[in-house]
Amino acid sequence: MSLKLTLDALHRAEGASFVEELGYDLPASFVDSLREQEYVREAAGVFDRTYRGVVDLSGKDLVKFLDGTLSSAVSQLSPGQGQLSTLLSSKGKLVGGFELYALVDGDFRLVLLESIRDELIQAVNKYAFLSDISVKDRSSEIGILSVEGKEAARVLERVSGQLPLPTEPFEFRGVNLGGHEATVASAGETPEGGLELWVSRDSLEAVWQCLREAAVASGGGPVGYKAAEALRVEAGVARYGKDYGEENFPNEVGLEHALTYDKCYVGQEIVARMRTYGHANRRLAGLLIQDDSLPSVDTGLSEGALFQVGGEEAGTVTSVARSARLGHRVALVMLKRKFWEAETGILDIPGGPVEAKIEKLPFVPTR
């Protein structure tokens, strides 16, 4: 049975249609997914991402612990800064990828793109136990909203009246939104980028209403899951449980920039060896579907579809979306090394074979 978002009743009152994804009933669209993509391109879209997990860590020698456990350069962070990071297994495979933030009180925060998984918490706890580090799941207390698009900063300025807002990647600071305290971070999952908000769940409804009104005034509005997925795929952002899992290495799914090679951490020896010898056997790539112009009905293309090149199995589709910007359906595919230089291939789907052009990620450069 799917979980309900904190703002479920409000979204239904707004007339949203719903879809079961990520273990939740999520608003699929508020008006039309193609139009909602235009909100982000032309103005600003407001996203309910309260399904995302939030974990706080605290304790003595926390930086030393994190630097020896996580893949990113943790020791380089000052309070108010963040970076992409990963936790790897001893075999160098992904336990999880997340945003890592150095909080002003000396604690650190992990913000995931998806819900908290028991496996991730257990893995963090395994190492934290030996270092007397406290691990606290804050997901039931803090909800993630985001405002993305070229007018995102102006929307936040209209609601908060505070300047300057964070602009450096993963920089964050406190703001007041319509009388409610929140934290705003420079982060997003779309090509246009934007601002991510950490909001107390008690304040979510009031903050959502303020952001929604300001976004509408800018020419934008609320954005549902279907449009959000299209923008995520355009940006080439991989999600755990869809595009990768525990058998993938970070350099297969576009997370190389979350790795460092000048320190020791869990799984470092393996990823360093892969970097030196180039032994990744697959990687995430994009597919631009050539047979259509955004069909409004299901034509059989879905996650798990087989992709072939020259009659050989080349990979498996992991995500599918309808891109208003590109005018076609787009997909992410886990592509075997042998076919990295190929230009086109065929998707084997129930409706019949479909040609697709292979694209390097991201489809659209991020701002």
Which tokens hold the place of 120? 């991730």
- Helices (H), ranges, 247-336: 268-277
Note if the bond before 362 is cis, omega within 30 degrees: yes
Share of the chain above pLDDT 70, in %: 98
Q: How many CA atoms lie within 13 A of 194 on its CB side?
A: 32
What confidence score (pLDDT) does residue 129 get? 85
Check: CB of residue 48 under 8 Å from CB of residue 145: yes
Q: Residue 298's pLDDT is what?
A: 55
pLDDT for the residue numbered 278: 74
pLDDT band (50, 70, 90) for residue 351: confident
What tokens were used for 20? 């079961």
Over residues 134-141, mean pLDDT = 96
Residue 349 pLDDT class (50, 70, 90 cuts): confident
| Domains (range + CATH), the chain | 3-48+141-233 (3.30.1360.120), 54-137 (3.30.70.1400), 281-367 (2.40.30.110)
pLDDT tens string 291-336: 766 655 556 688 999 999 999 999 999 999 999 999 999 999 999 9
The pTM assigned to this predicted structure is: 0.95
- Express each pLDDT in 85-137 by its tens digit: 999 999 999 999 999 999 999 999 999 999 999 999 999 999 998 788 999 99
Q: Read off the pLDDT of residues 12-70 as tens digits, 9 standing for 90 and up.
A: 999 999 999 999 999 999 999 999 999 999 999 999 999 999 999 999 999 999 999 99
Q: Do 242 and 319 contact (CB within 8 A), yes or no?
A: yes
Rounded-to-integer distance, Cα 292 and Cα 305, Å: 17
Q: How far apart are CA 346 and CA 357, in angstroms?
A: 9
Using the predicted structure, report yes or no on whether residue 220 has a pLDDT greater than 90. yes
Q: Give the pLDDT confidence of 196-217 residue by residue, as tens digits.
A: 999 999 999 999 999 999 999 9
Q: For position 245, what pLDDT does the model report?
A: 96
Characterize the bridge pairing of strands 45-48 and 221-223: parallel
CA distance 5 to 48: 9
Using one digit for the tens of pLDDT, what is the confidence trace for 150-185? 999 999 999 998 778 999 999 999 999 989 999 999
